Amino acid sequence: MVLVVSITPVMYSDISGYAPEWLKGAGRIITGAIAITAGAIVLIGGAPIAMLVIAGTTLTAGVLTLNNGIADVSGSLTGYNYMRDGVFGGNTTAYNWYSGVAEGVAIVGTMICGNYAAKNYRMQGGVPGTEGKMTLEKGMQLDRYGSPYGRYLTNPGTPASQLALPSSNNLRLTSYVVNKPFTVSTAVIEGGGGFQYFTWRSVSNLVQRGYLIIP
């Protein structure tokens, strides 16, 4: 007799075959946090009324999505989702609709706010009169000091002493090549005199999206 045992680890999928509640919740926490940041950047930076409305909606959707994510993670650990089981009285269909709409608005709003910021805001910390915008074309080489989660890049060969680097920067140098054109803010940095690019997305995110590659 052959005994066949099928094991589905909770960390990969639940009994229905879908992603477990905690994993869905973790994704919503990240989505919500990013939407809050994107909305806040536009609200603080200033924009036309229509764009401010979008930014406010994005921030609100981000807060709701972040809260739903926390509720999902909490529910997966305790069996009680305070949003689904409390606010919605156990109505899973209604909660899924509400949380899905909030998450969708957060995602779309983040894209709109991110694109607006990339096209309209200039990099801070630059020498007055040197700030600008430019499109980095495919094949252009760039350097970055530190982790890939920051948003600043510079030209190859620029020494760290010429850049505005925090004391916590480990000065690890990584080279990148532009794979798809994208727009950045530019400026000569006060105090150092080096030329930097500000991407509005983390370098890691640009690599994931195929805009940058590591040669």
* Token pair 């603080």 in the structure block, residue: 44
* pLDDT tens, per residue, the chain with 215 residues: 344 333 333 333 344 445 578 888 999 999 999 999 999 988 987 888 999 999 999 999 999 999 999 999 999 889 899 999 999 999 999 999 999 999 999 999 999 998 888 777 766 666 777 778 889 999 999 999 888 888 889 999 888 888 777 666 667 889 999 999 988 888 887 777 888 888 878 899 899 989 999 98
What residue ranges in the chain does DSSP mark as E strands?
132-136, 141-145, 152-154, 173-178, 182-188, 195-198, 212-213
pLDDT at 25: 92
Tell whether 3 is covered by a domain: no
Tell me, yes or no, whether 138 and 114 share the same domain.
no
Q: Is 152 helix (H, G, I), strand (E, B) or coil?
A: strand
Tell whether 7 is covered by a domain: no
In DSSP terms, 189 is beta-bridged to 126
pLDDT at 6: 36
Tell me, yes or no, whether 111 and 144 share the same domain.
no
pTM given for the model: 0.59
Tell me, yes or no, whether 206 and 178 share the same domain.
yes
Tell whether 45 is covered by a domain: yes
pLDDT at 7: 35
**Which of the listed residues 66, 86, 120 is the one where a domain comes to its end?**
120
Tell whether 178 is covered by a domain: yes
CA atoms of 83 and 99, how far apart (whole Å): 9
Residue 61's CB is within 10 A of a number of other CB atoms, namely 25
Q: CB of 61 within 8 A of CB of 99?
A: no
User: Considering its fold, how many domains does the chain have in total?
Assistant: 2
Tell me, yes or no, whether 116 and 162 share the same domain.
no
Tell me, yes or no, whether 104 and 160 share the same domain.
no
Tell whether 125 is covered by a domain: no
Q: Is 133 helix (H, G, I), strand (E, B) or coil?
A: strand
Q: List the domain range (segments joined by +) for residue 170.
A: 132-213
Tell me, yes or no, whether 92 and 54 share the same domain.
yes
pLDDT at 125: 66
